Amino acid sequence: MEGYGFPPHLAPREGRDGWWFTADVGVLDESGYLTLAGRADDCFKTSAGYLVNPGQIVHALTAHPRVTEAVVLPVRSPDGPVIGALVECEGAVDAGELRAEAARTLPAWLHPQVLAVTDRLPRLAGGKADREACQSILRHIRGWSDPG
C-alpha cells in the first residue's frame, strides 16, 4: 500500500498475511485476485431470513450495458424487509430486461422483489444517491405508504 496516501509516521496496523481487517466483503480467487463485493455494514436481512449483500445485486444489474448506477436496499413491506432496486439507465430499459440480467447470475433469493428504472436517481447535495428517497419511490411503486 506504499504511496496510497498514508502519512509516513503511521505504523502499519496488525493484519493477517499482509491483509488488514475491514468491513469490505470480497472473494479471493485461486490466483490471489481479490474481487470486492461490497461492505458487511451494507448487508441486511430480508423478511424471508436471507442475509443480503447489496453489492452482489448491484454488480449483476450494472452488467447491463445501459445501466449507469443501481441502488439496492431493504424496502419496508407490510411483511418485513424485501430487496428493492432503483436503477439509473441511459436510454430506455425495461425492468424485465434487468430482472433477466439478475436471474442469469444471482440465486432466486437474491432477486429484487421491487425493481424500478429511472433516468436519474434522486441525489443528495454531495452527489451520492439519496437512499431514503430511493426507498420512498420503491414503496410508492408497490402502493405501500411510508411510515409516518
Q: Which of 4-8, 19-23, 47-51 has the highest mean pLDDT?
A: 47-51
User: Which pLDDT tens digit goes with each residue over 82-141?
Assistant: 999 999 999 889 999 999 989 999 999 999 999 999 999 999 999 999 999 999 999 999
Q: Which fold has domain 42-142?
A: GMP Synthetase; Chain A, domain 3 (3.30.300)
pLDDT at 145: 79
At 120 the pLDDT is 95
Q: pLDDT class for 148, splitting at 50, 70, 90?
A: low
Each residue's pLDDT tens digit, 25-42:
677 788 988 776 666 667
Which among 31, 34, 74 has a CA at the least distance from the CA of 51?
74
Question: Within 10 A of 31 (CB to CB), how many other CB atoms are there?
Answer: 5
pLDDT in tens, 57-88: 998 999 999 999 999 999 999 999 999 999 99
Q: What cell does 148 get?
A: 409516518
- This prediction has a pTM of 0.74
User: Closest by alpha carbon to 22, among 51, 5, 2, 42?
Assistant: 42
pLDDT at 130: 95
Q: What is the per-residue pLDDT for 7?
A: 61
Across-strand partners of 34? Answer: 28
